[in-house]
Structure 1
C-alpha cells in the first residue's frame, strides 16, 4: 500500500473525525478506493470502533434512477445513519460522467426524497474526501501520477497553520452586517450576515479544507452574480451561470452550457432558489482548477455560493434556515478586477486579503 494512503486514512481518523472506541463508523467509498477502506478498517480495529463498508457505485445509482417511476424516503438508510457516529465518504469512481443521461427532473425528485436522510447524515460527525483516480485526473487534465501528488499534497497540509490564517477571516465575517461582492461587469451582489456564524473549514468535514463559510440571511441577497468558473453536476458541465436575486430569491437565471440542467436544480423545491452558503476560498496549496468542487471552491482567489440547503450550524437563532434537497456550489474567480467589502471596508482585492498584504 502507498504510504500516502495510510497517511490519508490517519488524517481522516485523527484530524477530521476523531474516531474513538465504540464509534459506529460508516465508510462509503467507490471500489477504486478499496485500499483507503482497508486502512480505515485497520484504524477502526485498533481503536475498537465498529465499521460498516458501503461500496458506492455511480453506475448502479444511475440504473436505479433511470428505472424508478417515483422515489420514497429510504427508511432503512435513515435508520442506519441514525445509529451512526462517524460517516466517511470519498469521491472517486471510474466515470465522472455516469449521471450524464439522467433527466434533471429525476435527479430533483430523488433529492427531494433523500432530504431527511441527508439531514440525518449531516447531523453526525462526517468527512468528505477524494481518492485520486484516473478518471478525475483526466477531468483535471493531469496525468494520474501528477493528480495523485496534487490530491495527497492538499490533504496533508499543515492544518493548524491553515486554521490560524483563516481565523482572521472568520473574525471579520462574524462581526459583519453586510457583505458586497463585485467582480468584473457581471457580479455585484449584496447580502446580510447578521446573526449567522462563519465557520473555519480546516480539513475536518471537508478534506482538503481551506475555506471560511457562512449562510446569508435568507431574504437579504440582492443583485447579480456571474459564476465564471464551470462546475460538474450529475455528470455534465454547467458553464457561464448568471443569477439575479431579489429579496433573496433567484428571479432569473441563464447558463452558456446545459442551462436546462441549471433550471432543473433551481426547480427542485422552493429552497433551491435561495442561497444556503457563502464561502471564501483560502487554500493556496490548491493552485489550479480541476473540475472538482471539493478542491476548486477552496482556491485562494475565489468565492463560492451554493443555492439550496444551508448548514444549520451557520444559521443563528432567530434567522430562517434555508432547507432544500439541493446544495450546489458555484464559483466566482476573484483574482482580477474584484473586491470583497464588509460593511463598506475592502477586505480582499484581486484575490489578496488585507491581512496578507
Structure 2
C-alpha cells in the first residue's frame, strides 16, 4: 500500500507492507499532514477464482496476442498489475517468446507530476520513450496493454495540462500508433482489477470483496470462466462474423440512430467501408484479438457525413476524469456544440485536441442483449463499457475499416473520407430502445436494430 501526504517540506511518498494502515493514517492527521492520495496494490483473485487466472493469462497470450515463436512481446502495465504481468511474461516465454519487455506505469506518480510539475514539461515527450515503442514496433513486436486506471484519480488535475501532455505523447508516438491501428503489429488490450477501480465499480462492497467481484466480472466477460475458453472464443468469433457479414453484404450508405435519450444521428459511410468484428489480421495473415472482451461490429464513418445529435448513455472515463451525461451536436461531420452535466472541461479538452478530434473515426454496433450489458455493471472503463453498448469514437479512424486502407497514403485516405487525429476516444450511445436503420445506395431503408438489438 502507498500513501502520499503534503508537508512544509514538500510531497512525501511512502510505500509499506505489513503495517496497520489506519494507524499510519491517524499519525498523519495528528501531525496535521494533508493526505493527498491512498493507494493499495492490486491483488490476485482468491483461491476460488485462481483456476481462472491461469486460463485468462494463457488466453491473452495464445488467442489475444497470438504470440509467435521468436517474437518479442512488449507489455505496458500499471505497477498495480505486476503479478498478472509476471504471469503473462512466464507464459510468453513458455510459448517461445524471443523476449518480454515491460513498460511500467504509475498513475500516482503521473498525478503528482501533473499537480506539481513545471509548465514546460507538458509540451515535451521523452525521446527514449519514443525510441522504445517505435523501435520495438519496427522489429515486429506484439504489444499488450493492461488498462486498469482509477476512474477519478485525476479529477483534481488541470485538464489543460493533461490535454497538452496527451498531445505531445500522440505526436511523438504517431508512427507506433499508426502501425497498430493499421494492424502492422499484433496488439491486444486487456484488464485486471486494482483496488481503487474495484471500489468505484462496487462501492457497497468491502475492499477485498470489491476486488473479488471485479475479478469475477472480468473472467466472465472474457470467457475465462468457461471449461474451454479457446473454444468459447472460437464460437464467439463465429457469431460476430455473422453480424459482420450481414452489414458488409448490405453495403449501407447511411445509418440513422434514434432513441429516447435524444440521440438522433445520421452517419454516412464511405463507399468502400468494411465492417470488422472479433478477430483481426496482420498483413502477414496472423490472427489476433485487439480487445478482450469484444462484442462489437465496427467500421468508419465518412468524415464529413455525420449530422444530428449524439447523447451519451454511460459516463466516459477520459484520462482519469469522468464525463457524465454529455451531448454532441454534429454538422457535416464536425462537432459544432457540446454540453455535459459533469466533466465539461475534460470534454472540451478531448474535442479540441486537434482538428481531427472534432470528427468521428468509428461507429460500432453492440446489441443491448449482450453478456457485458446483461451483467448490469458500469465498469467506468471503456474497454468493458464500449462492449455493453453501441458507441462512436471521436478522432482517428482505423484504416483497415476501408478497403485497402492500410495501403493508402495519408492524402488518399483523406480523399476517401477517412478522419485522422492524434486521439481515438470511444463513447457510448446504446440503450434498450435504440433503433438503427440502414439506408442503401438505392434508398431502401432496412432495420438493423429494433429496441436495442439486431433484427436478425
Within the alignment, does 1:58 sit opposite 2:107 as a pair? yes
2:239 to 157, 161, 165: 165
Matches within 5 A, 1:332-347: 332-336=429-433, 338-343=434-439, 344-347=445-448
Which residue does 1:224 correspond to in 2? 309
Query: 2:135 and 2:157 mapped to 1: Cα distance?
Result: 27
2:167 to 82, 89, 112: 112
Matches within 5 A, 1:22-37: 22-37=70-85
Deviation at 1:173, TM superposition (A): 2.5
Deviation at 1:327, TM superposition (A): 1.6
Query: 2:302 and 2:214 mapped to 1: Cα distance?
Result: 38
In the alignment of these two chains, the number of paired residues is: 351
Deviates more, 1:142-151 or 1:207-216: 142-151
Which residue does 1:3 correspond to in 2? 51
Which residue does 1:313 correspond to in 2? 400
Which residue does 2:452 correspond to in 1? 351
Shift in CA distance, 79/162, structure 1 to aligned 2, threshold 3 Å? same
Which residue does 1:140 correspond to in 2? 201
What is the alpha-carbon root mean square deviation over aligned residues? 2.1
Cα displacement string for residues 106-141 of structure 1 (whole angstroms, at most 9, x for unaligned residues) = 222222222214334444211100112222221212
Query: 1:169 and 1:20 mapped to 2: Cα distance?
Result: 29
Q: Which segments of 5 or more consecutive residues in structure 1 lack a partner in the other structure?
A: none
Within the alignment, does 1:91 sit opposite 2:144 as a pair? no
Partner-residue secondary structure (3-state), 1:268: coil
Partner-residue secondary structure (3-state), 1:206: coil
Query: 1:73 and 1:269 mapped to 2: Cα distance?
Result: 21
Partner-residue secondary structure (3-state), 2:123: coil
Matches within 5 A, 1:8-47: 8-47=56-95
Conserved? CA contact 1:271–1:323, under 8 Å: yes
1:264 to 332, 344, 349: 349
Deviation at 1:71, TM superposition (A): 1.6
Conserved? CA contact 1:275–1:306, under 8 Å: yes
Query: 1:103 and 1:262 mapped to 2: Cα distance?
Result: 13
Deviation at 1:15, TM superposition (A): 0.9
Deviation at 1:294, TM superposition (A): 0.8
- Taking structure 2 as the reference length, what is the TM-score of the superposition? 0.72
Within the alignment, does 1:285 sit opposite 2:371 as a pair? yes
Conserved? CA contact 1:17–1:204, under 8 Å: yes
Partner-residue secondary structure (3-state), 2:342: coil
Cα displacement string for residues 9-29 of structure 1 (whole angstroms, at most 9, x for unaligned residues) = 111111111111110110122
Query: 1:164 and 1:47 mapped to 2: Cα distance?
Result: 26
Deviation at 1:73, TM superposition (A): 6.5
1:188 to 255, 264, 269: 264
Deviates more, 1:133-142 or 1:189-198: 133-142
Partner-residue secondary structure (3-state), 1:340: strand
Query: 1:99 and 1:298 mapped to 2: Cα distance?
Result: 24
Q: Which segments of 5 or more consecutive residues in structure 2 lack a partner in the other structure?
A: 1-43, 45-49, 224-228, 280-287, 406-411, 440-444
Deviation at 1:64, TM superposition (A): 4.0
Cα displacement string for residues 250-297 of structure 1 (whole angstroms, at most 9, x for unaligned residues) = 011111111111111111000000001111124722122222211111
Query: 1:169 and 1:36 mapped to 2: Cα distance?
Result: 33
Deviation at 1:146, TM superposition (A): 1.7
Conserved? CA contact 1:65–1:110, under 8 Å: no
Deviates more, 1:40-49 or 1:123-132: 40-49
Partner-residue secondary structure (3-state), 2:435: strand
Matches within 5 A, 1:201-240: 201=278, 204-240=289-325
Deviation at 1:84, TM superposition (A): 4.6
Within the alignment, does 1:177 sit opposite 2:253 as a pair? yes
Conserved? CA contact 2:272–2:402, under 8 Å: yes
Deviates more, 1:254-263 or 1:121-130: 121-130
Query: 1:73 and 1:310 mapped to 2: Cα distance?
Result: 26
Conserved? CA contact 1:201–1:213, under 8 Å: no
Deviates more, 1:23-32 or 1:84-93: 84-93
Deviation at 1:244, TM superposition (A): 0.9
Matches within 5 A, 1:289-300: 289-299=378-388
- Taking structure 1 as the reference length, what is the TM-score of the superposition? 0.91
Cα displacement string for residues 214-273 of structure 1 (whole angstroms, at most 9, x for unaligned residues) = 110111111111113211112221111111111111011111111111111111000000
Conserved? CA contact 1:277–1:310, under 8 Å: yes
